[in-house]
Structure 1
Amino acid sequence: MNAKISFRDIVKTYPMKDGVFTALDHVSLDIADREFVTVVGPSGCGKSTLMSMAAGLTEPTSGEVLVDGAPVAGPGPDRGVIFQQYALFPWLSVRKNVEFGLKLMNLPQDERRKRAEHAIELVGLSDFADALPKTLSGGMKQRCAIARAYAVDPQVLLMDEPFGALDALTRVQLQDQLLDTWSREQRTVMFITHDVDEAVYLARRVIVMAARPGRVQQIVEVDLPYPRTEEMRLSPEFARIRNEVWHGVYHQPKAA
């Protein structure tokens, strides 16, 4: 497996009044090029911290994070980051929001428009390109945030609970939208979630994290073909994998 992202013996600690809190304890993990991986685990297991390190927003106390074999030294356009909060500029249209990162890259206006239009089309917002965020639903705002990340043409998408604040129906619809976009673009995706069904539905592998201290508890292979379908959610094989992940998350042995 050619690793796109590598976490090598990651330790993250924070000083406390009565000692040191270990958020991540010797975590090692490889994510392959073009692989879709979900990371699930109880609150406080360090999954968002791990993603933040891949984004270059947080540094490990020890160990290293590599992208394409090179140490991560900070944020970069090769990694697009999408959070639960949309973080859109309310005074800019969908198109202008999507073009924002391209403007920072000093691309010519024609090139910015071309790439933004492509990204907006990918997420199905072409009819709303001139709309302001206040006129959009929550799901549409998140699609705009995804388009903005896609527009800068990152090799890696890092997604931290991007659908967590959405209603159940919109969440399912955006899962399908994301997989459809991923199937066409084939980027490497690291997707953080609390939702076991979501973790299984999206991923080729589910990384189950344990808490206190944060560590990799289990890696579950999802041997289901793409494209994923609603019928697949109801299949015995999906139920078997879901139950395995559920048990891994909610019935964890204590750390030694």
Structure 2
Amino acid sequence: MTPKISFRNVSKSFPLKGGDFLALDRVDLDIADREFVTVVGPSGCGKSTLMSMAAGLTEPGTGDILLDGAPVAGPGPDRGVIFQQYALFPWLTVRKNVEFGLKLMNLPQDERRKRAEHAIELVGLSDFADALPKTLSGGMKQRCAIARAYAVGPQVLLMDEPFGALDALTRVQLQDQLLDTWSRERRTVMFITHDVDEAVYLANRVVVMAARPGRIHRVIDVDLPYPRTEEVRLSPEFSRIRNEVWHSVYHQAPAA
């Protein structure tokens, strides 16, 4: 079966004074259709660069990035991108923010409204559809950003530390909300995080990256049942996997 997303021998360098900086070095990774994969690693390991290339926002230096076996040639509606910053239009309501991408697709107004309402319901914001972003909490703003990404019907969700700026309680609540939405819609998800607990709690697999240069260090299966619950989070098996990921992230041997 063809993977949904494939990174094939991907390397990326950035020019610096005195010479190029090798950010990613020969990365090979496959993500299956409908799989939820988290990517975790030390600061500077190239997590966000990897996701940016999958989104078509950055070109690889060498190697190939494939979506359903076809090369990624730039951004497209088949990939929804969600960043740590909400990037909502402050003068538009929740509904209008969610409809924005649909308007760019030249969909009829009735179809835009139908798809926006469905996405807003998915993230639990139906009661706030007519609210402006300034009236929303940080967690609600991020849910609006997720709804906007879902509304255009992407095959893949690319999420770059979307909960990183939130308080601990809101972060846990949004993790559960995201998994509930994913269980109903089952899009392929590549989720970047620096939080080991979050990486394990969400994923089918955790990709651990090593830094300088960025490369795949380990891929760890998370054999925990869905739906993920507080009982799962407190289970001995969760602790075992979490400790395995933690050790892989923070006790790596230096690159050769």
Matched, 1:38 2:38: yes
Amino acid of the structure 2 residue aligned with 1:76: G
- Percent identity over the alignment is 87
Question: What is the SS of the residue equivalent to 2:4?
Answer: strand
Is the aligned partner of 1:134 residue 2:127?
Answer: no
Q: Does 1:243 align with 2:254?
A: no
Structure 1 residue 14: Cα displacement? 1.3
List structure 1 runs of 4+ shifted beyond 4 angstroms: none
1:13 aligns with 2:13: yes
Aligned to 2:145: 145
TM-score by length of 1: 0.99
Q: In the alignment, which residue of structure 1 is the partner of 2:108?
A: 108
Q: List gaps (5 residues or longer) in structure 2.
A: none
- How far residue 19 of structure 1 moved from its aligned partner, in angstroms, is 1.7
One-letter identity of the residue aligned with 1:95: R
Q: What TM-score do you get using the length of structure 2 for normalisation?
A: 0.99
1:93 corresponding residue in structure 2: 93
Aligned mates of 1:59, 1:13 — CA distance in 2: 10
Give the superposition deviation at 1:16: 2.1
Aligned residues of 2:2 and 2:69 also touching (Cα < 8 A): no
User: Which whole-Å CA distance do the structure 2 matches of 1:51 and 1:83 have between them?
Assistant: 10
Cα shift at 1:52: 0.2
Distance 2:103 2:41 in 1: 37
Q: Distance in 2 between matches of 1:17 and 1:192?
A: 29
Question: Structure 1: 5+ residue runs without aligned partners?
Answer: none
1:187-226 matched pairs, under 5 angstroms: 187-226=187-226
Deviation at 1:144, TM superposition (A): 0.1
- What letter corresponds to residue 105 of structure 1 in structure 2? M
Q: SS state of the match for residue 140, structure 2? A: helix
Contact 2:93 / 2:130 at 8 angstroms: preserved in 1? yes
Output the amino acid matched with 1:120.
Answer: I
- Aligned residue number for residue 123 of structure 1: 123
1:166-189 residue CA offsets vs partner (Å, 9 max, x unmatched): 000000000000000000000000
What do residues 83-134 of structure 1 show as CA deviations (whole Å, max 9, x unaligned)? 0000000000000000000000000000000000000000000000000000
What is the rounded CA distance, in whole Å, between the counterparts of 1:75 and 1:249 in structure 2?
30
